[in-house]
Amino acid sequence: MGKLKGFMEYDRIKEAAIDPKERIQNYKEFTVAPDTEKLQEQGARCMDCGVPFCHSGCPLGNLIPDFNDAVYKGEWERALGILHATNNFPEFTGRLCPAPCEEACVLGIVNPPVSIELIEKYIVERGFTEGWIKPQLPAQRTGKKVAIIGSGPAGLAAAQQLNRAGHTVTVYERSNKIGGLLRYGIPDFKMEKNVIDRRLEILEAEGIQFECNVEVGTTLTATALEAEFDAVLLATGATIKRPLPIPGADLEGVVQAMDFLPHNNEVVDGQHERAAHYNAKDRNVIVIGGGDTGSDCIGTSNRHGARSVTNFEILPKPSEARTEDHPWPYWPFKLKTSSSHEEGSHREWSILTKEFVGDKNGKLVGLKTVEVKWKKVPGERPQLIEKPESLKEWPCELALLALGFTGPDKSLPEQFGLSFDERGNVKGEQEYQTNKPHVFAAGDARRGQSLIVWAISEGREAAHQIDRFLVGKSNLPQKNKAGDLATV
Ligand SMILES: Cc1cc2nc3c(=O)[nH]c(=O)nc-3n(C[C@H](O)[C@H](O)[C@H](O)COP(=O)(O)OP(=O)(O)OC[C@H]3O[C@@H](n4cnc5c(N)ncnc54)[C@H](O)[C@@H]3O)c2cc1C
Ligand code: SF4
């Protein structure tokens, strides 16, 4: 285990960060690496519990006490091996995971939990710096061919696993670059894109083929793909944006977050200039939706130089601490203040947007809201009750709709002849296998809008099932009951 009584000796640490005023001048990551000694002390805080609840908190089942112990002892290369045994891309989760493992950490019952995500990030960063992360080529090829549609974390994790099992893997991506929402969604200040590129170099050297600018279903038909490959994996994400069908929704200045953010990522990548209608500079910005996407819009708008940034959330303000409804070790629905919120934003809860207001040229100049309350009815969904007397108008020239996604685009699954579950996601009849035995689904396309850690987990699990389908058995690892606490 870590250091006996280390948890009594050392406090939890957070990653230091560049001052908000300074960091919003650019799109670079702004965290500051802790000293190695501080990371080892954090590893020493792990109590190596008899039942490590952090394992089941992590959707990947990461072997957390084992890598904590290796870090405490300064055995970083061993820690990297332990981490990679369950997680193909710790550099993504180490930066972006909401860390349900930490909410399930036993130390967290009485003290701040171990900084597991921080340790994870710096294990893998050290691995890249030291040159320990090398391509792992399969000993032999099976002669089986697998097509993966979509290059987000689910598709990439499945590709790496299947390639390691000896299958010949081609990843098809409709965008001009690989990475899914990691590339065109998540802003650079949360993860710079060279973090994806250096991992792609490894995947390419391992023999995975990538085909960008290929939209399966149009550029290449489902039938053509089925004829060429022994198995197909749909990892196409949940890309249908939730609309806000209220008066004025078609005004210039009402913009979907997932048009605004990818456009910005392309600008930061030097692909083109910023279009005027996606520019928040000197505008009063209102971000509708309080989740991760909303938070990314706040950080991006502040970097554009917005006059003001306000964030609306229809739900009530959550409690600052864990409530009885979500006891340890479950994921708590408590107030989350992201680094983007800290950079400057006004937040409103229990607020409903009723109408967008435009000028005579069809440009957005404001929006109207009412306050709401939620009535709990036993056995039913909570009821939304508007307070008409609270009607208020807000000045706003750019409204960003960050309302999430309704599910996957159905056209490609329909072309394959696949069925859907009751939520409209691609249905895995047998685990990740669809109603067509050689077609599988994973990630947001299968489970609906979710998280990177879940996408990697689904990609790995689907790879196991595809490998079994192709050769009758699989040595690719499968997780046990991990992730059953992580309802996040
Ligand atoms: C703005 C934003 C911020 C987020 N921040 C976080 C965060 O901080 N932490 C976190 O854990 N999660 C975050 N998420 C969620 C996370 O990004 C997703 O859950 C995850 O990327 C899903 O992975 P995936 O591989 O299933 O799909 P995606 O990443 O969506 O990738 C799907 C890929 O398939 C491609 N594709 C679709 N159809 C076709 C086709 N017909 N042919 C070829 N290619 C196709 C798409 O172009 C895309 O590249 C965020 C999401 C958004 C939108
Ligand atoms: S992937 Fe997420 S949940 Fe799993 S150990 Fe890392 S931070 Fe924790």
DSSP string, 66-131: HHHHHHHTT-HHHHHHHHHTT-S-HHHHHHH---HHHHH-GGGGTSPPP-HHHHHHHHHHHHHHHT
Give distance in angstroms: CA of 168 to centre of ligand 1.
24
Whose alpha carbon is nearest atom 3 of ligand 2?
Answer: 58
pLDDT for position 333? 86
Q: Is residue 478 part of a domain?
A: no
Measuring from each residue's beta carbon to the nearest atom of ligand 1, which residues come in under 6 Å? 96-97, 149-155, 172-175, 180-181, 185-186, 215-217, 235-237, 258, 261, 292-293, 296, 412, 443-445, 450-453, 455
Give distance in angstroms: CA of 25 to centre of ligand 2.
30
Contacts of 422 (CB under 8 A, 6+ apart): none
Give distance in angstroms: CA of 24 to centre of ligand 1.
25
pLDDT for position 84? 98
Q: Are 230 and 88 in the same domain?
A: no
Mutation test of ligand 2: which of 15, 117, 121 has the most ligand atoms closer than 8 Å to its C-beta?
A: 117
Give distance in angstroms: CA of 154 to centre of ligand 1.
8
Q: Are 374 and 442 in the same domain?
A: no
For residue 357, give the CATH number of its domain. 3.50.50.60
Q: Is 43 in the pocket of ligand 2 (CB under 6 A)?
A: no
Q: Are 329 and 219 in the same domain?
A: no
- Euclidean distance between the first and final Cα of the chain, in Å? 28
For residue 15, give the CATH number of its domain. 1.10.1060.10
Q: From first to last of its 488 residues, what are the pLDDT tens digits of the chain? A: 678 889 999 999 999 999 999 999 999 999 999 999 999 999 999 999 999 999 989 999 999 999 999 999 999 999 999 999 999 999 999 999 999 999 999 999 999 999 999 999 999 999 999 999 999 999 999 999 999 999 999 999 999 999 999 999 999 999 999 999 999 999 999 999 999 999 999 999 999 999 999 999 999 999 999 999 999 999 999 999 999 999 999 999 999 999 999 999 999 999 999 999 999 999 999 999 989 999 999 999 999 999 999 999 999 999 998 888 888 998 888 999 999 999 999 999 999 999 999 999 999 999 999 999 999 888 888 899 999 999 999 999 999 999 999 999 999 999 999 999 999 999 987 789 999 999 999 999 999 999 999 999 999 999 999 999 999 999 999 886 555 555 55
Closest listed ligand to the CA of 93 = 2
Which atom of ligand 1 sits closest to the CA of residue 190? 8
The widest CA-to-CA distance across the chain, in whole angstroms, is 71
DSSP string, 357-370: EE-TTSBEEEEEEE
Give me the residue label for tokens 């090398």: 134
pLDDT for position 431? 83
CA gap 441, 426 in Å, rounded: 7
pLDDT for position 377? 84
pLDDT for position 118? 98
Contacts of 109 (CB under 8 A, 6+ apart): 328
Which atom of ligand 1 sits closest to the CA of residue 178? 49
For residue range 386-395, list pLDDT tens digits in order.
999 999 999 9
Give distance in angstroms: CA of 458 to centre of ligand 1.
13
Range of the domain at 341: 243-401
Give distance in angstroms: CA of 329 to centre of ligand 2.
14
Mutation test of ligand 2: which of 42, 46, 56, 58 has the most ligand atoms closer than 8 Å to its C-beta?
A: 58
Q: Is residue 483 part of a domain?
A: no
Q: Is residue 485 part of a domain?
A: no
Does residue 332 contact residue 340 with C-beta atoms inside 8 Å?
no
Q: Is residue 376 part of a domain?
A: yes
Closest listed ligand to the CA of 479 = 2
H or E stretch covering 426 = none
Q: Is residue 92 part of a domain?
A: yes
Q: Is residue 447 part of a domain?
A: yes
Give me the residue label for tokens 């479950």: 330
* Kind of pairing between the strands at 398-401 and 284-288: parallel
The angle subtended at Cα 408 by Cα 403 and Cα 414, nearest 5°, is: 150
Q: Are 76 and 111 in the same domain?
A: yes
Q: Are 47 and 181 in the same domain?
A: no
Contacts of 148 (CB under 8 A, 6+ apart): 155, 158, 159, 162, 169, 170, 171, 172, 232, 233, 235
- Full-prediction pTM beyond 0.85? yes
Q: Is 97 in the pocket of ligand 2 (CB under 6 A)?
A: yes
Q: Are 367 and 453 in the same domain?
A: no
Q: Are 167 and 309 in the same domain?
A: no
Whose alpha carbon is nearest atom 33 of ligand 1?
Answer: 150
Question: In 3D, which of 138, 209, 115 has the Cα closest to residue 170?
Answer: 209
pLDDT for position 480? 67
Q: Is 100 in the pocket of ligand 2 (CB under 6 A)?
A: yes
Q: Are 397 and 409 in the same domain?
A: no
3-state DSSP call for residue 260? helix
Residue at which a domain ends, from 130, 157, 191: 130
Q: Is 485 in the pocket of ligand 2 (CB under 6 A)?
A: no
Residue at which a domain ends, from 401, 435, 454: 401
Q: Is residue 30 part of a domain?
A: yes
For residue range 259-294, list pLDDT tens digits in order.
999 999 999 999 999 999 999 999 999 999 989 999
pLDDT for position 381? 87
Whose alpha carbon is nearest atom 15 of ligand 1?
Answer: 451
Closest listed ligand to the CA of 153 = 1
Which atom of ligand 2 sits closest to the CA of residue 60? 4
Q: Are 387 and 270 in the same domain?
A: yes
Q: Are 328 and 447 in the same domain?
A: no
pLDDT for position 484? 57
Q: Are 311 and 233 in the same domain?
A: no
Q: Is residue 284 part of a domain?
A: yes
Question: In 3D, which of 353, 383, 382, 350 has the Cα closest to residue 368?
Answer: 353
Give distance in angstroms: CA of 448 to centre of ligand 1.
10
Q: Are 248 and 388 in the same domain?
A: yes
Give distance in angstroms: CA of 93 to centre of ligand 2.
6
Residue at which a domain ends, from 368, 401, 434: 401
What domain count does the chain have? 3
